[in-house]
């Protein structure tokens, strides 16, 4: 696996591959890789000739400095995992390589920026679009691969690609779960054994909703799931919403694409999860 730490070295390497007619798949990450990330690498390998992964803990998307500080950075272990997965290229830049001085960035994303995650993490999606735009500009991928677990992030990046007319196709990849149902996340390492058991209520509530879903009962189903999660010890619910999969507005009996999304703190660890209930049209159509 080729490891690049500067824009110049990465661009030079990828440019040669593009001249040889190779298509580039890109998996941007914050590192602390798990099987969910590696599933994105595998999907990129199936759909493109060369797979580039980035590991960069982007400071502009953390609205809590303590969260940034404690974000895990096991780079040696991450490199080993990528090599084992036969990833072709790793881009692992320093902050100074990605940001020059006091840069300003604001993209008019619209209301999507302020719903759900945006309400609890103000400014987060400006930081996400800022760094993803930079990464797209450096890598110039044919297809970029993102996990469904960060569903709202996918919608935001999709909006950015449309607004800025970026020549990249986006692919949303399924959530990977541990055997107990917990959605894989780099944050899971912060959970104690007891907290992990309590955290399972998130996927249990989402599964229960999917199994019992009735379009005409959306408000009462939402209340039922909220009560289920709030009753779990050590779990502080931030939101549970049943939404239109295109715009995250509250779903109703006429909504075609329905996605349920949840966020909660388990102990001191903030977790998110979601499930697709109805998917009559694919994202991006």
Q: pLDDT tens for residues 109-144?
A: 999 999 999 999 999 999 999 999 999 999 999 999
Mean pLDDT value of segment 72-77: 94
Q: Could you give the percent of the chain with pLDDT greater than 70?
A: 98
Cross-strand pairs, 52: 26, 89
Q: Could you give the percent of the chain with pLDDT greater than 90?
A: 93
Q: Which of 49, 51, 57, 10 is nearest to 33 (CA)?
A: 57
Catalytic one of 34, 37, 114, 254: 37
Out of 135-139, 146-150, 164-168, 279-283, least confident range: 279-283
Mean pLDDT value of segment 145-149: 98
| 17, burial (CB in 10 Å: exposed 0-12, middle 13-18, buried 19+) | middle
Report d(CA 170, CA 92) in Å as an integer.
22
Query: What is the DSSP secondary-structure string of 40-61?
Result: HHHHHHHH-SEEEEEE---GGG
Between helix 7-19 and helix 124-139 the angle, nearest 10°, is 50
Q: What is the pLDDT of residue 220?
A: 98
Q: What is the pLDDT of residue 285?
A: 38
Between helix 151-163 and helix 124-139 the angle, nearest 10°, is 60
Within a 10 A sphere around the Cβ of 211, how many other Cβ atoms?
7
**All structural domains of the chain:** 2-173 (3.40.50.620), 186-276 (3.30.1300.10)
Q: What is the pLDDT of residue 156?
A: 98
Residue 58 clears pLDDT 80, i.e. is over it: yes
| 58, burial (CB in 10 Å: exposed 0-12, middle 13-18, buried 19+) | buried
Q: Which of 74, 89, 72, 101 is nearest to 138 (CA)?
A: 89
Report d(CA 58, CA 99) in Å as an integer.
10
> What's the whole-number average pLDDT of the chain?
96
Question: Running DSSP on this structure, what letter comes out for residue 111?
Answer: G
Strand bridging mode 89-91 / 143-147: unpaired
Q: What's the predicted TM-score (pTM) here?
A: 0.95
Residue 281 clears pLDDT 70, i.e. is over it: no
**For 3-57, what is each residue's pLDDT tens digit?**
999 999 999 999 999 999 999 999 999 999 999 999 999 999 999 999 999 999 9
- Residue 34 appears among annotated catalytic residues: no
């Amino acid at each position: 696996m080729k490891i690049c730490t500067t824009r110049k070295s990465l661009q030079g390497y990828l440019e040669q591959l593009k001249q040889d007619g190779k298509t580039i798949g890109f998996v941007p990450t914050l590192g602390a890789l798990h099987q969910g990330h590696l599933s994105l690498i595998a999907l990129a390998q199936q759909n493109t000739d060369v797979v580039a992964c980035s590991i960069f803990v982007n400071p502009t998307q953390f609205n809590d400095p303590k969260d940034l500080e404690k974000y895990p950075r096991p780079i040696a272990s991450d490199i080993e995992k990528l090599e084992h997965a036969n990833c072709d290229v790793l881009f692992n830049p320093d902050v100074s390589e990605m940001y020059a001085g006091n840069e300003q960035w604001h993209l008019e994303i619209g209301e999507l920026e302020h719903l759900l995650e945006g309400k609890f993490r103000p400014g987060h999606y400006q930081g996400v679009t800022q760094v993803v735009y930079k990464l797209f500009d450096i890598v110039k991928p044919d297809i970029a691969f993102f996990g469904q677990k960060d569903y709202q992030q996918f919608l935001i990046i999709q909006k950015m690609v449309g607004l800025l007319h970026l020549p990249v196709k986006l692919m949303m990849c399924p959530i990977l779960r541990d055997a107990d149902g917990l959605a894989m996340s780099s944050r899971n390492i912060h959970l104690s054994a007891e907290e992990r058991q309590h955290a399972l209520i998130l996927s249990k509530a989402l599964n229960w909703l999917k199994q019992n879903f009735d379009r005409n009962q959306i408000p009462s189903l939402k209340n039922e799931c909220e009560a289920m999660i709030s009753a779990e010890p050590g779990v502080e619910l931030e939101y549970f919403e049943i939404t239109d999969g295109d715009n995250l507005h509250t779903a109703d009996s006429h909504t075609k694409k329905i996605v349920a999304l949840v966020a909660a703190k388990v102990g001191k660890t903030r977790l998110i999860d979601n499930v697709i209930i109805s998917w009559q049209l694919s994202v991006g159509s």
